[in-house]
Structure 1
């Protein structure tokens, strides 16, 4: 497992030959160089499977190769020739495997058999499917208090399995349905409904061809959603200004060579993307957006005095919005010195953005977790909405707000009922449809589930996909508490660290991947929703990795049937054998979205769920789009302000990673190879703290809320172009520094993009 680290700045573009080489390398490493190429030809196609990586748009007219570097890595990772069989578990104890890194755990290969943890030998041992399902059902049924049993799901889960999983939880007796959205875009789901009446973005793919300005905040398309680079390139080549706000200079926002263009590859042609690039300080986006809004207002004042055409869209504001007067009054009280201090940007930088924005007729506002994972994340997203509303840029062609989702179906599973919030689910319709009284109490989200686990109050935790224990904050506190859970069930395709922190009874239940053929009483298909609210069908094309695998949909049905009282209105066996019946049931629960479901999901480009805000229909309490005034500009009242010793930590994903899945140790765009144990620092901070490039240091959370010691050691100092006072370290390794209580107000999304820390010398362990 030894690697030789190297650090050398990357000079190339996003995409290009670097992307092509990376694709070839992973196909060879996973042992699928020929068959993998054939499979990739079916990715994101109407007659194929939907990408298992990110949720970016699947176009009606796909490219010949409608996949990106990271999407191809995710595919190769799933169709790998490597296998994690019972013999592997017989050879290694759980304690031994805990010493392995994330990459090597998953690189063992696809799980092939159901396994049960044996505490006496500290090993997982084979178990039959029948025995596993019976024991899980018996254990869940026997629990005297069902209020704190948790049903977690990953954002890769299909609409069909998600719908049944949510129904299972509610029939069982609670709404404890946290999911990966709680960790990333719950802030979006909380911020947008009171502002514009929908919990998702309003932008469709064709808006990129009609826009004349793109604003980017806290999103790195080069690593997280590379297919997005294609419409960005087309926009840039039309002369559309792309203005980026991001603490680090990310290559995917700077330059791009299209790997699907022979001419560009042979000539090494590069398209410049960002026309302006502003390296905002971690936690400074709210101040930066306020500064842009203030500059727009000052331009409006000047236009009025000079008797020039107005900058604001007064007709839109008067007809469609509410709260502008209060917002205007607050905005006029903001001072440039404070905005500069909090954002880390100059007044001229924010004004430069406002000047371009004011000239545009249609602007798209794009953002990612760089906005959502902050204490003030909800207010920051709403401030971006305020900026767009000032010039009527919602409900107009080529304009709107565009949150970029991560997991491939994290948005879709919410649409079909995976949520802890009962008010978001048609409970009365479920009650009538299935003959029961659904629970009406708000369930546990991710942070609240962690709090209950720390209090030793969760008797059972079911994981439908994902790597929950590794993805959550406060690992040092969470792992000991996790071991005291009575039952943990890991439904997965690969080995990961969550499975190596077993509860008292623990199962690993391997399932089919989305790319694999799912044959029940005939071939089955599933569906999912992309970032723009379009629902697509998906058919597996690959032979299953093992004859012992079953589908996640069937497994949910079998566990539910083993757990719940018999109910003729919940035909679990029929649902497990014919997914069309599930889609029929979904259509009955959500008729306004999923009518003619089976036919419409195969439409090229998918079918779009209703998004009233696209048509300037505002499903808010007052029937208007709302300017929402923030309480202030302070980022975090629970953590100390950065001083000469404290730094603001931003957790990062590498180019060789998707969420907790690490595909390798080459972060090409940042020039880091062979290691993830690094801390990226501004050279002025390195000098100020008396450090040198290559020094080994540790980080300690700077907290004034509790006395818990949170540390991560053994990190190598790497000079990097990052704002002074800010540092970067990789997720999920740095999660040990993130307190469970450090989350966005209103959404409880972990605030992983601005964690105050202190530096200490030495290679102390985490």
Structure 2
């Protein structure tokens, strides 16, 4: 990989030859095998395997190539030829590896053997699976279960996630944080309170029926590139795509379809956004209020013909309060808080008022704020005005991140007892589940920092790198009594060992999972609440690997007393038995689960709000009057900026595939601060200068990140863009969304210090 730093504007479209070149680069770097290329033809297709990257839907019929640039990178990353054997750790201490970059740690290759940390040698050493399970079980016996955390990455299958939550609850712990806590928990809390459903209400086919798309705080070019095909199809048939996003992202501007011969041959592209509003980070509440204000004014002027008053009367509660607020709030306040003009917001309102069927798309640009719940409430307010919920071509389309992050919550990965049928679980398995609320991600961080937590078991992921205030977390993490990480590759969390630490390597989803019952299939749920089977067939990276399910069963058998209703060994040998139990726990959602595994396009688990059945306290969809006009949760001041943490084009979550953020024109580095030119002039810094970002809030004013190169960028004044997870240490653990506790990573208070 080139270390040369090159920063210049990118003039191309998303997709196209740039994507092809990027795939070729990572393919050569990972020394992909012929079977990797063959497997791409099976990716996201019936009878194949579901992408290990994002949770976008899998259409039926599929495209000839139903994978995107980042999905192909994820496949190549998993099927790499490189291996991390015990010999690797004989050559490298953890002190040495801590100086490696995130990319280089994972680039080292697939883990091959179960490992235990040796403090004397500061390195991992090989152990047997039997020894690892026995010691983990023995140590868990000595802890108060309420002080033990069972974390789940969004990549784990439905079957393994179900086994994991059952292990935790039978052990006595309801500490079940997951990656949803870091991203879309705000959706789960906000949507559920407003419409009775914690997830999106649309299906992939609704994009074929909509008249307009209102798009907030999500970047499909980097985070869900297969979505670009649907956006392109909408644009081709004249759908208005109205975007609200602080940065101008190329994946929302124009797209060259790599599967379109004409566009590839002519290097042409399809324009996507018809309006692009660069809202100030944290200013979406005010922006949506401006649109609502304009639409209500149009309705007043046109004799009540703009709003769907029949829908409002029959299906909603609280409209009058929101309407009164919209009429009374002034445009000066709206413009100040949103960073947008009255004319721009009225233009967006005109589109909304005319469209018969509107889809509202959003991502973490709305959820990761202190007042993220208010963001979601304002979305609901906007959509309810014209009945844009529960009809074809209309509804909410939150774009989820990891491939099964939504599904694992469906099968019980939750710290909230009210979301789990605990009485039914007690009858099904003959034990008394814990009833108190457990730890979410923020509570887990607080418990680790306070040294209340005794043990952490992680089913995948890179928890200690993904969370806020990593500088404080690292030394606290090493005081944990027991740390167990189930993983395919080395990552930074593994370099912060507890007093006893195990690193347990598992099969990847693309690999053949042959158990006592034969070759196994796993399942996952996408952003549209559709469930798919996924079958790997590539030879495993090593014959010493176990499946995730087998590892969970091994820990459970060593930890729990025998239970005649739970045969962990049999479950690990036949995942169909696990699916039978999932169906017993949720018979309505998973009826005939094993029969429907390979349904083309997946099978839908259902959503009452999609049928205008409102499972709220009032039995109606609820309007909410906002109490604030920006989502930041802190006061603006001279010299204080709103830091927006971002992912690059060469990244998925904490996995960094490379150092080329093609769409933003940044190559060879991730140590940057993207700034507005007017802000730069006011501070006396120039493009290419080196600065530090320093915390500008009581909870983070002792934190700083040095060595950041200033990049002049098209970003609203008062905002700075920088990369996650490198800048996570600037996010205080206490800086999180009200109610949902999602870290507020999209508006972090910072100031800029120029380095002489």
TM above 0.5: yes
- Which residue number corresponds to residue 55 of structure 1? 55
| Higher mean C-alpha deviation, range 32-41 or range 338-347 | 32-41
Deviation at 1:211, TM superposition (A): 0.3
Deviation at 1:273, TM superposition (A): 0.1
- The 2-side partners of 1:274 and 1:636 are apart by 26
| Partner SS for 1:171 | helix
- Which residue number corresponds to residue 564 of structure 2? 568
- The 2-side partners of 1:724 and 1:10 are apart by 21
- Which residue number corresponds to residue 623 of structure 2? 627
- Which residue number corresponds to residue 151 of structure 1? 150
- Which residue number corresponds to residue 100 of structure 2? 100
| Partner SS for 2:193 | helix
- The 2-side partners of 1:722 and 1:330 are apart by 30
TM-score by length of 1: 0.98
- Which residue number corresponds to residue 698 of structure 1? 692
- Which residue number corresponds to residue 162 of structure 2? 163
| Aligned mate of 1:559, from 547, 551, 555 | 555
1:640–1:702: 8 Å Cα contact kept in structure 2?
A: no
Deviation at 1:595, TM superposition (A): 1.0
| Aligned mate of 2:457, from 451, 462, 476 | 462
Deviation at 1:35, TM superposition (A): 2.6
- Which residue number corresponds to residue 263 of structure 1? 262
Deviation at 1:268, TM superposition (A): 1.4
Q: Aligned pair 1:689/2:683, yes or no?
A: yes
Unaligned runs of 5+ in 1: none
- The 2-side partners of 1:662 and 1:456 are apart by 30
1:174–1:441: 8 Å Cα contact kept in structure 2?
A: no
- The 1-side partners of 2:321 and 2:672 are apart by 45
Matches within 5 A, 1:485-564: 485-521=480-516, 522-564=518-560
1:715-751 per-residue CA deviation (whole Å, 9 max, x = no partner) reads 0001011011101010000001000000011100000
1:172-219 per-residue CA deviation (whole Å, 9 max, x = no partner) reads 112100000000000000001111111000010110000000010000
2:361–2:396: 8 Å Cα contact kept in structure 1?
A: yes
Matches within 5 A, 1:429-440: 429-440=424-435
Deviation at 1:2, TM superposition (A): 7.4
- Which residue number corresponds to residue 710 of structure 2? 717
- The 1-side partners of 2:676 and 2:348 are apart by 25
Matches within 5 A, 1:326-725: 326-521=321-516, 522-637=518-633, 639-641=634-636, 643-704=637-698, 706=699, 709-725=702-718
- The 1-side partners of 2:173 and 2:627 are apart by 34
1:56-115 per-residue CA deviation (whole Å, 9 max, x = no partner) reads 001121111100000000010001111111111000000100000000000000000111
1:640–1:703: 8 Å Cα contact kept in structure 2?
A: no
- The 1-side partners of 2:142 and 2:736 are apart by 35
- Which residue number corresponds to residue 220 of structure 1? 219
Matches within 5 A, 1:187-206: 187-206=186-205
2:695–2:701: 8 Å Cα contact kept in structure 1?
A: no
1:215–1:242: 8 Å Cα contact kept in structure 2?
A: yes
| Partner SS for 1:507 | strand
| Partner SS for 1:407 | coil
- The 2-side partners of 1:35 and 1:165 are apart by 31
1:524–1:578: 8 Å Cα contact kept in structure 2?
A: yes
| Partner SS for 1:9 | coil
- Which residue number corresponds to residue 40 of structure 1? 40
- The 2-side partners of 1:628 and 1:708 are apart by 34
Deviation at 1:151, TM superposition (A): 0.2
1:527–1:535: 8 Å Cα contact kept in structure 2?
A: yes
Deviation at 1:330, TM superposition (A): 2.2
- Which residue number corresponds to residue 123 of structure 1? 123
Deviation at 1:18, TM superposition (A): 0.3
- Which residue number corresponds to residue 727 of structure 2? 734
| Partner SS for 1:397 | coil
1:27–1:36: 8 Å Cα contact kept in structure 2?
A: no
2:246–2:280: 8 Å Cα contact kept in structure 1?
A: yes
RMSD of Structure 2 on Structure 1 (CA): 1.0
| Count of aligned pairs | 755
Deviation at 1:333, TM superposition (A): 2.3
- The 1-side partners of 2:326 and 2:180 are apart by 31
2:695–2:730: 8 Å Cα contact kept in structure 1?
A: yes
Runs of 4+ with >3 A deviation: none
- Which residue number corresponds to residue 110 of structure 2? 110
| Higher mean C-alpha deviation, range 361-370 or range 19-28 | 19-28
| Partner SS for 2:276 | strand
1:500-527 per-residue CA deviation (whole Å, 9 max, x = no partner) reads 0000001110000000000001100000
1:666-701 per-residue CA deviation (whole Å, 9 max, x = no partner) reads 000001110001110111111110001111110001
2:147–2:452: 8 Å Cα contact kept in structure 1?
A: yes
| Partner SS for 1:414 | helix
1:640–1:756: 8 Å Cα contact kept in structure 2?
A: no
- The 2-side partners of 1:356 and 1:332 are apart by 20
Unaligned runs of 5+ in 2: none
- Which residue number corresponds to residue 9 of structure 2? 9
1:512–1:518: 8 Å Cα contact kept in structure 2?
A: yes
Deviation at 1:264, TM superposition (A): 1.3
| Partner SS for 1:679 | strand
- The 1-side partners of 2:711 and 2:305 are apart by 48
| Higher mean C-alpha deviation, range 625-634 or range 168-177 | 625-634
Deviation at 1:634, TM superposition (A): 4.1
2:70–2:652: 8 Å Cα contact kept in structure 1?
A: yes
- The 2-side partners of 1:436 and 1:373 are apart by 37
1:346-392 per-residue CA deviation (whole Å, 9 max, x = no partner) reads 01111110001100000000000000001110110111111000000
Deviation at 1:33, TM superposition (A): 5.5
Deviation at 1:645, TM superposition (A): 1.1
1:24–1:33: 8 Å Cα contact kept in structure 2?
A: no
